[in-house]
Structure 1
Amino acid sequence: MLRARTFLRADALANGEIVDRVVLDHGDRHRRRIAMTGVGGLGFLLDLAAATVLEDGDLLVLDDGRLVWVEAATETLLEIRAGSDHALKRLIWHIGNRHIPAEIAGDAVYIADDHVLAEMVRGLGGTAEPVERPFRPEGGAYSGGHGHAHAHDEHGHHHD
């Protein structure tokens, strides 16, 4: 089976023909090894060296050099807003305490649709309205539900 062992970030200069695209929600964009089928019917095996969060616009590189475009699927999210910048920061703090993926925009925060969190936000004076859009949560410790460890050697020097 055709394999994609590497990928290019959306801002990379890519040489190769884009032959298909895969439309994946946030959960399905955190992968290492899985059989995929493009929208156009191209079947291939994603076979990366490590589990990676694929972003909207990334390109999967097939063994033969052809490319498959990664597109973030539209999902139902909660758009959380507040009456002031300070109030929004307070809401972000409360959401962060729940250790859930969140996308922080300039004047709103987006999380997966959850009626319990929507009620919490409204109880704290914010708004939480369902919207349909791709989900691009912040990376880091809670990306995809997997921790990100930083290694330190015996001298305390930091290594990623």
Structure 2
Amino acid sequence: MISATRIIRRNALNGGEIVDRIVLDHGDRHRRRMAMQGVGGLAFLLDLAEPTVLDDGDALMLEDGRLIWVEAAPEMLLEIRAGSDHALKRLIWHIGNRHIPAEITADAVYIANDHVLADMVRGLGGSAEPVQRPFRPEGGAYAGGHGHNAGHSHGHAHGHGHHDHSHD
């Protein structure tokens, strides 16, 4: 089976023969080694040096130089909004205390669909509506990946020391 051993980030992609594409959710875009099959049927082994987050629009380079396009699959998420910029910042602070992956846009925050967090957001005066869209969470200051959107969902690489907020 042919292997994909390199990632070409979308901002560095300039040409190359794209022969297939893979559509992966957020969890499946954080991998090191995994057998994969493209939408067009091309089977290959993802074989990277270390676990890495594949971003929407990246490409995987096969051993023979051909490319596999990476697409973020639509997922069920919560779209969180607030009545003002300040109110949205306050909600972001509360969500951040939960240490969960979050995608922050200019006027909304997206997190995995979770009824407990939806109730918390509504209790704080925000809106939390289920939506289906690709999930592109922030990388986080401690995620590694050389500053590139490396996911924070697979544990913490930093110590918290003592803190007294609840994670329930």
Residue 90 of structure 2 corresponds to residue 90 of structure 1? yes
**What TM-score results when the alignment is normalised by the length of structure 2?**
0.86
- Give ranges in structure 1 of 5+ residues lacking alignment: 150-160
Residue 105 of structure 2 corresponds to residue 118 of structure 1? no
Distance in 2, Cα, partners of 1:130 & 1:15: 37
**What TM-score results when the alignment is normalised by the length of structure 1?**
0.90
Which structure shows the higher strand fraction?
1
Q: What is the match of residue 38 of structure 2?
A: 38
Distance in 2, Cα, partners of 1:41 & 1:7: 20
Structure 1 residue runs of 4 or more that deviate by more than 3 Å after TM superposition: 146-149
The alignment's C-alpha RMSD in Å is: 1.2
Residue 154 of structure 2 corresponds to residue 145 of structure 1? yes
Distance in 1, Cα, partners of 2:86 & 2:15: 45
What's the CA shift for 1:148? Answer: 4.4
- Give ranges in structure 2 of 5+ residues lacking alignment: 143-150, 159-168
What's the CA shift for 1:146? Answer: 3.7
Contact 2:36 2:45 survives alignment (8 Å): yes
Distance in 1, Cα, partners of 2:42 & 2:154: 29
Work out the number of aligned pairs and report it.
149
The equivalences for 1:6-21 within 5 A come to 6-21=6-21
Distance in 2, Cα, partners of 1:147 & 1:20: 34
Contact 2:13 2:59 survives alignment (8 Å): no
The equivalences for 1:70-81 within 5 A come to 70-81=70-81
What's the CA shift for 1:9? Answer: 0.3
Contact 1:25 1:134 survives alignment (8 Å): yes
